[in-house]
Amino acid sequence: MAGDALRQELEDSDDDFEYEEIELESEDEDIDLLGDDLDAALQTLGRKGRKSGVESQVQAETARADREPAPGETVKKAEIVEDFVRNYLVRMGMEKTLDAFEAEWYQLKAEGKLADVGLVPDVYTQNRELDARVRELMAELDQVRGVAGKATSTWDQLRKERDFHRMHHKRIIQEKNTLVTSLRRLKQHYSQYEPVIKELRGKYESAMKEKMLVRLERDRLVGRLESLEAELAAAESSREVPDAGAAAAAAVAAAAAESAPAERGTAPGTAGARTATGKTARGTTGGTSRGRTGAQLPAEDPENKLALLKFPTFETKHVRNSRTTKAHQMAASNLALHPTRPIVVTCSDDKTWKMYSLDDSSLIMSGAGHTDWVSSADFHPRGTHLATGSGDMSVKIWDFEKQRCMMTLTKHAQAVWGVAFHYTGEFLASCSLDHTARLWDITTSTCRQVFKGHVDSVNHCAWMPSTSSLCTASSDKTISLWDARTGLCAQTFYGHQNSCNHAAFSLSGFYIASCDADGIVKLWDARMVSEIASIDAGPHPTNRCAFDRSGDVVAVACDDSRIRCFDTTSLSQVADLTGHEDSVQAVEFDHAGTYLVSAGSDGTFRCWT
């Protein structure tokens, strides 16, 4: 009866026990409600993680239970129900209950009335595992909270920096707008000064031109005054002779009138003829004669008075670059010195020539009219005109008084390399790439002579001082002397092994210096038509050479941006002048012998003293 009562009690307890299902809140709704709350999002993720962990653990246990164990594998199974009850009663010391349970259990089992209950889940083990999992998740949650805190602080810092940079950007934009406004005002303000500056520059240039013209006019008037004074002195000296013999002349005239009346008509005519003859002789002495066909070269050359003078040698020991002037934006190809004034004219590849004062390097005048590079220039002997040669195959003559080009000579077939005025000022020589040199009569703008004989480009031409002999240097490696009156070649100098770039006379006219593309400078005796010496200034080409007044020093413009000076007696180098940044194209000694002027491809001309 005790067993029946216990069985009845167990059955009643099973029937009376009711299970109640608890509904969980939707986690998706939680996420929607939480929004951007970081802590709530972390909690939601934690719950999802725990739920997914439990589900994954149950699924893993189910999978382990369903699969067949491998041979030799230890399988942990849940405890059987009756063993669980027995163990529990033993642990609690309920031996009588255990005996009653055993008796009734086996009785029911023997009668076949005991249903198969199955295995009891290992709840304690699962609880321990779940507890460990909960701890792990809490640790991960703490780590995530730390990372989230750092991310929050970083985000706050970035937000502050963003606000700072945004504010800084706005400030910079404001400053930029202010600067742009100020620049516009400044441009508008200074644009008003450009017309004023242009007007002042024009006034300055016109004033400098007027100043130069006044100087030239003054020089011309001074020369005219000197000539008038000389004529007046000559007239006074010739007047003294008739005064001294006036009585004798009267007596002779009276006697002649009494003895030969027919001679009274011839005596005045003879006297008038003598006077006319004397005036004509004075008018033609030392000058050219003009006929209907233009000016004529003097039949006889005057004496070169400079050949009788002795000049001091140019001092080369302490020569230095005293002044540098940027004359052109392109190469300065040549230069010319005024015959009486400290004025230099430079020619350039920029198609212009410019006139500068050597005292203060101020620009006096400039000329533009050639359509190609300007290769050479030369002053009129009186300094009133300038001749220029150009790559446009023309020669132009510029009048300083009229401030314009007064003449253009265009007979050359190719580029013009050099020009040179005759000492009378009425003739001009030019040389060209067309293998010829020409003699121009500037009074009629006609070509009077064509000097043919060179077989290559004629690079330079120069007049022997106070003569009508023209010297030409050619790329056919020769130097030639021409008689301008006949147009014939008088002498030819042989010895150069490469193109002759330039030839220059000494002040006496006795010696010639020539330079070539091999860097060789040769000295020639113009009277003996022979070579005196050869100087090696290479290995770079030599572009131009010049004698000083004494003829003892020759300066050479070299292609390696140097100017080398040599003693013509010892043939030794006495100076090596450096300063140009590119090839030196021209070099000249001034007429007073105090300084040296050079021009180069760097667009500058330099004074050396």
pLDDT digits (tens, 9 = 90+) for 505-518: 999 999 999 999 99
Alpha-carbon gap, residue 111 to 113, rounded angstroms: 5
* pLDDT of the residue at 235: 80
CB-based contacts of 262, cutoff 8 Å, min separation 6: none
pLDDT score at 291:
47
According to the model, what pLDDT value does residue 66 have? 55
* 239-265 exposure pattern, b = at least 16 Cβ within 10 A, e = fewer: eeeeeeeeeeeeeeeeeeeeeeeeeee
Is the pLDDT confidence value at 524 over 90? yes
At residue 20, the pLDDT reads: 46
Nearest to 378 by CA among 401, 405, 396: 396
Cα 77 from Cα 54, distance rounded (Å): 19
Return d(Cα 45, Cα 27) in angstroms, integer.
10
Give me the phi and psi of 496, to 5 degrees please: -75, 145
CA R_g for the chain: 60
Report the percentage of the chain scoring pLDDT > 90: 54
- The reported pLDDT for the residue numbered 59 is 61
* C-alpha distances in Å from residue 213, one per residue of 166, 226, 344, 355: 68, 20, 15, 13
Query: Rounded to two decimals, what is the model's pTM?
Result: 0.55
Q: How confident is the model at residue 266 (pLDDT cuts 50, 70, 90)?
A: very low
Which one is predicted more confidently, 44 or 460?
460
User: Which pLDDT score is estimated for 129?
Assistant: 87
Domain 318-608 class?
mainly beta
Concatenated DSSP letters for 249-298? HHHHHHHHHHH-GGGGTHHHHHHHHHHHHHHHHHHHTTS--EETTEE---
Q: At what angle do helices 193-244 and 246-259 cross, to 10 degrees?
A: 60
Angle, alpha carbons 133-135-141 (nearest 5°)? 105
Question: Tokens 């008018």 belong to which residue?
Answer: 283
Q: What is the pLDDT of residue 53?
A: 57
Which amino acid, residue 58?
V
- The stretch 336-348 carries a mean pLDDT of 94
Q: What percent of the chain has pLDDT over 70?
A: 77
* Cα(458)–Cα(481) distance, integer angstroms: 13
pLDDT for 306 equals 84
d(CA 149, CA 153): 6
pLDDT in tens, 3-39: 454 444 444 444 444 444 444 444 444 444 444 455 6
pLDDT-derived band at 238, boundaries 50, 70, 90? low
Strand stretches in 369-464, DSSP E: 374-379, 385-390, 395-399, 404-409, 416-421, 427-432, 436-441, 446-452, 458-463
Range scoring the smallest mean pLDDT among 13-22, 317-326, 475-484, 543-552 = 13-22
- At 79 the pLDDT is 65
Residue bearing the bigger pLDDT, 582 or 88: 582
Report the pLDDT value the prediction gives residue 51, as an integer from 0 to 100. 57
Measured CA angle at 452 (ends 446, 458), to 5 deg: 90
* pLDDT value of residue 132: 92
Residue 457 pLDDT more than 90? yes
Residue owning tokens 């003097």 = 298
* Ranges assigned E (strand) in 98-218: 119-120
Reading the block at residue 7, the tokens are 């069985």
Question: So what's the pLDDT on residue 126?
Answer: 80
Mean per-residue pLDDT, 357-363? 90
SS3 content of the chain, % helix, strand, coil (to 5): 40, 30, 30
Per-residue model confidence as pLDDT tens digits over 110-159: 888 877 666 656 677 788 889 999 999 999 999 999 999 999 999 999 99
**289 has a pLDDT exceeding 80:** no
pLDDT, residue 316, reads: 87
Judged against a pLDDT cut of 80, whether residue 346 lies above it is answered with yes
Using the predicted structure, report yes or no on whether residue 286 has a pLDDT greater than 50.
no
pLDDT of 62 reads 54
Mean pLDDT of the chain: 82
